[in-house]
Amino acid sequence: MSADKKTNLREEYQLTDEIIDKFGISNPDKLSAATKRALKWPRDLGKDWFFEYEVYDLKGDLAYEEGVVRRDPSALIKVDGLYYVWYTRSTGPSQGFGGDIENDKVFPWDRCDIWYATSEDGVTWKEQGPAVERGPKGAYDDRSVFTVEIMVHEGVYYLSYQTVKSPYTVRVKNQIGLAWSNSPNGPWTKSEAPILSPADNGIWEGEEQNRFRVKKKGDFDSHKVHDPCIIPFNGKFHLYYKGEQMGEEITFGGRQIRHGVAIADHPKGPYIKSEYNPISNSGHEICVWPYNNGVAALITTDGPEKNTVQWSPDGINFEIKSVVKGAPHAIGLNRTLDNEKGPVEILRWGVTHKYMNYDYQYIRGFKTWTIENHTAPGEATKDGTTSDNNSVITDKF
């Protein structure tokens, strides 16, 4: 290798003696593809963005109940001393798509309404009944309303959620609805039309109910828009959502799932999809929160960047900040916590759901903690203390 080539490589990757030592580079004039990728990582990567977790059962009406589906909880808010949570609720087993589509229940989230519960301590919950129910026959939400999220703005409570119009076929294109109220206890006024719909540029192949047969796939959200979450950001309202594409494929990261964002000047819309969509390469349920004048996101379950925490300065262009061992499913963030205290402070505790079996799910709690460093039992840590565990845990809730 010429002297000029050596110099260019060192300059290109800013290979100071400190960086060479930090990354353990044996020969700074010969860099593998892995080392080049590592050198391009953000320089502020650190333990603050990393967490571990555990889940636990809740008490009261949100404990598991045979024959009842409770899933996809919203974020937690606190009003007049009570925690509130909204969630998807249905009853009875699911029959799938092989029978009477008009009358059967095809998924646990089919034939659902949105219910809510309250708690004084976040552990023992009292179910309060339905908040938003399915619409009348022929309405865009007559089959199911589910996967709800809460936003509070200027004293008004907003619920965004998925909707399905009957019949619930494999190729059905669900949409996103909105309801609002001056009280967390309702009554709720529903939007007369969806606030967001799938892209209309894919083309199905044939009439068979097969969602993988397409002539043209279309945009990343040409089949479904899922898991809505609205957050105020930079004077506007960002509606984050999961997109499913017609003819969805399996890639090297699993299911081909990506997220998008639509932006409005008012909570009720109209919402305009960003020209930069999709804004993620991976993900499933939406989990986003404001942090450090930007937006943070937990990306889980599907895709090559699953199980990462990401951050964006503008709510659109996200970069990976940490890779985590896993995370609770369908997280309901605790928006009563100080999300500016640290990048994952809002994840300290909240709610999630668990599959007892395919037919029935229930809502549980979760808590997280950060790891200061990794030691062997009896080994001295950086500060000179002796560890009794193989991980030194800090900030455990």
Where residue 35 falls (left for φ over 0; alpha for ψ -120 to 50; beta otherwise) is alpha
Dump pLDDT digits (tens) for 175-206: 999 999 999 999 999 999 999 999 999 999 99
pLDDT value at residue 14: 87
- Residue pair 223/244 in contact (Cβ under 8 Å)? The answer is yes
Alpha carbons 254 and 82: distance in angstroms, whole number:
40
Q: Average per-residue pLDDT in the chain?
A: 92
Q: Taking the C-alpha atoms of 137, 139, 140 and 144 in order, what is their torsion angle to the nearest 10 degrees?
A: -40
**Residue that is written with structure tokens 């100071």 in the block:** 16
State yes or no: pLDDT of 174 exceeds 70: yes
Alpha carbons 381 and 383: distance in angstroms, whole number:
5
Instruction: Spell out the domain ranges in the chain.
Output: 3-39, 47-394
Dump pLDDT digits (tens) for 332-386: 999 999 999 999 999 999 999 999 999 999 999 999 998 877 777 777 766 666 5
pLDDT value at residue 72: 98
pLDDT value at residue 98: 84
Dump pLDDT digits (tens) for 248-269: 999 888 999 999 999 999 999 9
pLDDT value at residue 397: 41
Fold of 47-394: Tachylectin-2; Chain A (2.115.10)
What band does 327 get if pLDDT is binned at 50, 70 and 90? Answer: very high
Alpha carbons 365 and 333: distance in angstroms, whole number:
11
Mean pLDDT of 60-74: 98
pLDDT value at residue 159: 99
State yes or no: pLDDT of 315 exceeds 70: yes
pLDDT value at residue 384: 64
Alpha carbons 353 and 85: distance in angstroms, whole number:
13
DSSP β-bridge partners for residue 126: 118
State yes or no: pLDDT of 392 exceeds 50: no
Tell me which residue of 391, 355, 279 sits closest to 50, measured CA to CA: 391
- Looking at residue 49, what DSSP letter applies? G
Look at 39-48, 160-169, 177-186, 244-253 and tell me which has the smallest mean pLDDT.
Answer: 39-48
Percent of the chain scoring above 70 in pLDDT: 93
Dump pLDDT digits (tens) for 98-156: 888 889 999 999 999 999 999 999 999 999 999 999 999 999 999 999 999 999 999 99
Indicate the pairing of strand 77-79 with strand 319-323: unpaired
Alpha carbons 348 and 397: distance in angstroms, whole number:
6
What band does 214 get if pLDDT is binned at 50, 70 and 90? Answer: very high
- Residue pair 325/308 in contact (Cβ under 8 Å)? The answer is no
pLDDT value at residue 264: 98
State yes or no: pLDDT of 84 exceeds 80: yes
Q: If 0-12 CB within 10 Å is exposed, 13-18 middle and 19+ buried, where does residue 321 land?
A: buried
Alpha carbons 164 and 174: distance in angstroms, whole number:
5
Mean pLDDT of 306-312: 96
> Under DSSP, is residue 40 helix (H, G, I), strand (E, B) or coil?
coil
